[in-house]
Structure 1
Amino acid sequence: MTTEILRDVLDRWKAAVDGHEPQRVAALFTEDAIFQGLHPYTVGRQGVADYYESQPRGMTAAYRVLQTREPADGLVLGYLDVDFAFTDRPTLSVKLGVLLTRTQDGWRIGHYQVSRLG
């Protein structure tokens, strides 16, 4: 069940990233989400939208779920491989950790952290 929840949210995240729709990406996060991309971290949806607005058009994301856990009711932890592909430079491969929270509006990303591990 945790993998299905994770895939549902991340499929929508991927579609919004691939479509360069930063507001749609941000809507998948909680209002107070901690977001750590490859720039200094932000808190909240506006920081998420700003981050994805700054990404080049044509960037796409492909993910692979490595692990999921349900640390408590209403929480899903995911650890993933993500490849960000670009039109003008090599693909960037990262690890992504996310914590999903069940809200009254459905599952949202409450914590998102990318790292470049070898």
Structure 2
Amino acid sequence: MVPQVLIPLAAELAPPERRAGVVAGVQIGLMTGIIGSRVVGGVVGEALGWRSVYLLAAVLTALAGSVRSRPPEFIASLERMTAFGRIGRPDEIVSVVAFLASPEAGWVTGQNIRVNGGAV
């Protein structure tokens, strides 16, 4: 979901005269990251086994999530992008993940479920 939020966020935060360049830079960075991660994942998987790729991804995700200091203008811009006018709470996200991991979600297959407060 980060790419869907990051590009409009960069456009909103950039001054109008630099907006196109900023959006292009973010898009280039995202594509480089996507392609680079495929290469690194393949090399790590080949060298250490496929489970190590998932372990590394979990560790990196936990590290990224532990960074708590966000500039107030960043939070405010995220809040303006949602229908509810606020960012989500962890319990709101966890409840959806818990449902999808439960037997009740057995017929949910191959779906993109956006838990984003109606972000536009």
TM-score, scaled relative to structure 2:
0.27
* Higher helix proportion: 2
Greater length-normalized contact order (CA 8 Å, ≥ 6 residues apart): 1
Structure having the higher Rg? 2
* Greater share of residues in strand: 1
Structure 1 length-normalised TM: 0.28
